[in-house]
């Protein structure tokens, strides 16, 4: 934690989301609870050093506090929120992008790789940060003060991080997510198709064909991984993109709705309000103000 404090002091102790010299590593510092943030999470390791967060995906919620981490093993629409932060005890977290291909290489080099569970399970999970992983984080913070060394040393630290994650309590689940031609791998391929065609009407049978499963088996595995049905997953992708269009490109409500595939602006407004807790127009205005 002292290394993180030194890093933040170098940024004058300000709030913000800071990029470290090594690619794909960010530090988040906040003095207050932050409103829920809906977005598509990429494969990543999200570690809380101080404070607490929670994430909601589908019908599930995970909470994690100091020296705990959230592991996201695939692209996933979810809603994260800082739930413990104050001027006296600010929130500090670090987010590290994960590369499934490199993780698979590490698995291939392990003498005793983790055993993947037979049953399908969620693609997000929380675990404690043990001593070896904490040591890797300390070296990342130290590396931030030596940007010329980051390109050389960062990859080896990342491989070590993968090793300790794979050796941890959820190593088997991680292996299942990155192993080629498993049920999970085929679900991820179907999700890629869904993401590429989220504005169109995509039938479950099409997705099941891509995953080389029966529709019933596909539906079961999809929901086990994401805690959502394919339709709910697509709906969240549409609403997130519509919000981006309204905030970043100043699109009108009806225009954003039609661009992401809705045929009815009123249905879009109902579903948007249900997800974000405010009407599309109000939500976009509040987000613009927050970003400003």
Torsion angle, alpha carbons of 139, 177, 36, 46, to 10 = -10
pLDDT at 145: 83
CA distance 93 to 1: 10
CB 10 within 8 A of CB 26: no
Q: What are the angstrom distances between the C-alpha of 25 and each of 93, 97, 194?
A: 11, 7, 28
Residue 66 to residues 89, 141, 143, 184, 242, Cα–Cα distance (Å): 12, 17, 22, 30, 34
Running DSSP on this structure, what letter comes out for residue 38? E
Neighbours of 231 (CB within 10 A): 11
pLDDT reported for residue 289: 78
Determine the pLDDT at residue 211. 92
Q: What is the pLDDT of residue 185?
A: 85
The C-alpha atoms of residue 67 and residue 86 are separated, in whole angstroms, by 18
Do the Cβ atoms of 43 and 165 come closer than 8 Å?
A: no
pLDDT of residue 2: 64
CB burial readout 179-218, b (16+ within 10 A) else e:
beebbbbbbbebbeebeeebeeebebebbbebbebeeeeb
pTM for the model stands at 0.89
Whether 95 and 22 have beta carbons less than 8 Å apart is answered as no
Q: Is 214 helix (H, G, I), strand (E, B) or coil?
A: coil
What gap in Å lies between CA 32 and CA 184, rounded to an integer?
Answer: 37
Residue 105's region, left for phi above 0, alpha for psi from -120 to 50, else beta, is alpha
What are the tokens at 20? Answer: 């470290």
Residue 22's nearest CA partner among 114, 156, 173 is: 156
Give the Cα separation of 164 and 170 in Å (integer): 10
Taking the C-alpha atoms of residue 92 and residue 15, their distance in angstroms, rounded to an integer, is 10
Mean pLDDT, 10 residues at a time, the chain of 292 residues:
70 81 90 86 95 93 96 93 93 94 93 84 92 94 88 94 94 86 86 93 93 93 93 95 93 95 95 93 85 64
């Amino acid at each position: 934690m002292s290394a993180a404090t030194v890093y933040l002091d170098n940024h004058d102790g300000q709030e913000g989301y800071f990029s470290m010299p090594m690619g794909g590593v960010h530090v988040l510092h906040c003095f207050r609870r932050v409103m829920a943030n809906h977005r598509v999470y990429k494969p990543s390791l999200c570690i809380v050093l101080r404070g607490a967060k929670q994430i909601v995906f589908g019908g599930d919620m995970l909470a994690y506090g100091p020296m705990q981490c959230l592991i996201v093993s695939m692209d996933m629409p979810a809603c994260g929120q800082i739930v413990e932060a104050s001027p006296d005890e600010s929130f500090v977290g670090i987010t590290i992008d994960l590369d499934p291909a490199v993780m698979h290489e590490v698995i291939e080099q392990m003498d005793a790789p983790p055993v993947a569970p037979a049953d399908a399970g969620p693609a997000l999970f929380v675990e404690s940060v043990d001593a070896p992983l904490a040591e890797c984080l300390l070296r990342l913070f130290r590396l931030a003060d030596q940007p010329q060394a980051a390109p050389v040393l960062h990859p080896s630290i990342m491989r070590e991080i993968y090793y300790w994650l794979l050796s941890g309590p959820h190593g088997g689940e991680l292996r299942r997510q990155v192993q080629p031609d498993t049920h999970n791998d085929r679900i991820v391929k179907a999700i890629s198709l869904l993401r590429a065609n989220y504005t169109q009407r995509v039938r479950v049978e099409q997705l099941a064909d891509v995953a080389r499963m029966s529709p019933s088996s596909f539906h079961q595995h999809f929901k086990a991984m994401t805690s959502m049905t394919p339709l709910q997953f697509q709906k969240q992708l549409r609403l997130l993109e519509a919000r981006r269009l309204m905030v970043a490109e100043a699109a009108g409500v009806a225009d954003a709705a039609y661009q992401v595939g809705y045929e009815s602006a009123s249905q879009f407004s109902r579903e948007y309000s249900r997800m974000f807790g405010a009407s599309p127009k109000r939500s976009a205005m509040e987000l613009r103000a927050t970003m400003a």
